[in-house]
């Protein structure tokens, strides 16, 4: 407050005025051109803060304006990726089912047909026509194998030619070759062939 005015009022009245007015500052005989320095500095700081915030906000607005095209592109990319992922999931599930069907059918073929013919026969089957039960076995598998055996009897497992099986009477005579001469050793080797 203006010190000259307070001195003119005296101690008691100036005390009462200070109590009533508190921190309010009076600018008596001020034409509006006078602003206290501390108030000016405070307002100046607030102005600079607001100016900085305004600049930052304007920069963000410009970035958003520039990125709006990017957002559309990202939305399209997200939609494309989602579609591709869904397709991948479906394909993976189908591959898993086909793998299980192939494995079960191959096992069934191995029990009924020549091992060399299994892959050939497996390539002739339509996996969409094969159904698996809860145990993972081919539904009506025996019927399918009978039909296949009728159409391809030469590939049936029972038609496989088997070689001679050794009997229990066959004994192998052990010979100590360390005591043989070279001629004796080679002669014995020729006999064994």
- Which pLDDT belongs to residue 16? 82
- Which pLDDT belongs to residue 162? 57
* pLDDT tens sequence across 6-54: 677 788 877 887 787 766 665 554 555 566 777 778 888 888 888 898 8
Contacts of 110 (CB under 8 A, 6+ apart): 118
- The whole-angstrom separation of Cα 191 and Cα 189 is 5
- Which pLDDT belongs to residue 151? 85
- The whole-angstrom separation of Cα 110 and Cα 126 is 18
> Hey, how many other C-beta atoms are within 10 angstroms of the C-beta on 33?
6
Asked whether the beta carbons of 121 and 163 are under 8 A apart, the reply is: no
Contacts of 53 (CB under 8 A, 6+ apart): none
Q: Is 58 exposed, middle or buried (0-12, 13-18, 19+ CB in 10 A)?
A: exposed
- Which pLDDT belongs to residue 30? 52
Distances (CA, A) of 138 to 26, 75, 92, 105, 151: 101, 45, 21, 6, 19
DSSP letter, residue 138: B
pTM (whole model) above 0.85: no
Q: Is 112 exposed, middle or buried (0-12, 13-18, 19+ CB in 10 A)?
A: buried
- Which pLDDT belongs to residue 160? 46
Distances (CA, A) of 187 to 52, 173, 174, 175, 180: 107, 15, 15, 13, 10
91: which 2 tokens? 């394909």
In 3D, which of 180, 116, 126, 191 has the Cα closest to residue 152?
116
Domain boundaries in the chain? 1-34, 35-159
Low-confidence ranges of the chain (pLDDT < 70): 1-2, 6, 22-35, 68, 158-173, 192-193
Instruction: Give the gyration radius of the chain's Cα atoms.
Output: 51
Give the chain's mean pLDDT: 79
- Which pLDDT belongs to residue 87? 92
Question: Which residue reads 């145990």 in tokens?
Answer: 135
């Amino acid at each position: 407050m203006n010190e000259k005015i307070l001195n003119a009022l005296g101690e008691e009245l100036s005390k009462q005025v200070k109590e009533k007015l508190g921190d309010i500052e009076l600018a008596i005989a001020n034409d509006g051109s006078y602003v206290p320095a501390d108030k000016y500095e405070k307002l100046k700081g607030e102005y600079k803060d607001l100016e900085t915030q305004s600049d930052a906000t304007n920069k963000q607005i410009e970035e958003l304006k520039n990125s709006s095209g990017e957002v559309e592109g990202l939305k399209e990319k997200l939609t494309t990726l989602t579609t591709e992922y869904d397709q991948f999931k479906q394909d993976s599930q189908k591959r898993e089912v086909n793998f299980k069907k192939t494995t079960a059918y191959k096992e069934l073929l191995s029990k009924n047909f020549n091992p060399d013919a299994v892959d050939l026969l497996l390539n002739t089957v339509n996996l969409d026509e094969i159904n698996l039960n809860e145990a993972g076995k081919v539904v009506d598998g025996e019927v399918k194998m009978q039909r296949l055996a009728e159409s391809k009897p030469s590939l049936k497992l029972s038609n496989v030619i088997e070689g001679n099986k050794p009997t229990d009477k066959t004994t192998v005579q052990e010979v100590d070759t360390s005591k043989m001469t070279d001629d004796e050793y080679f002669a014995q080797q020729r006999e064994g062939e």
